[in-house]
Amino acid sequence: MKKVIGNTDIEDALKRLDRLTQEEARMASAQLLKVTNTINNRVEEIADNMLGVDNRAAGIGDQLQGVSDKVTAVIDGAQIYLQSIVENCPTPNAPRWKRGQGSYPTNSQ
């Protein structure tokens, strides 16, 4: 026996199909929202990590500046020290003592 489908059966089936389609769309949207939220949290974690790396890099820059300042101080001190040696060194044309002469006693007389 063949069942005859009436207008009400078709309308009920279409309404049910419409409800199922809307429910499936809501479920897909909820899944998409969940995935988007997870990605957003991960991106925020990465941004926080990058901020930490940036802060550490700035700290290294500060430390390097400190090292640079110390090296500059050492170089300046070395230049002052070498300049004082040069100023206190006798000139190459200064007269030299002859052997046996001087203010100390010698055995050669």
Q: Per-residue pLDDT tens for 55-64? A: 888 888 888 8
Q: Taking every pair of C-alpha atoms in the chain, what is the biggest distance, in angstroms?
A: 155
Between 94 and 73, residue with greater pLDDT: 73
* pLDDT score recorded for residue 32: 97
Confidence band, pLDDT 50/70/90 cuts, at residue 92: low
Confidence band, pLDDT 50/70/90 cuts, at residue 18: very high
| Neighbouring residues of 108: CB distance < 8 A, sequence distance ≥ 6 | 99, 100
Q: Helices marked H in the chain — which ranges? A: 7-88
**Total residues belonging to the chain:** 109
Between 90 and 31, residue with greater pLDDT: 31
Whether the model clears a pTM of 0.75, i.e. scores above it, the answer is no
Instruction: Report the 10 Å Cβ neighbour count for 20.
Output: 10
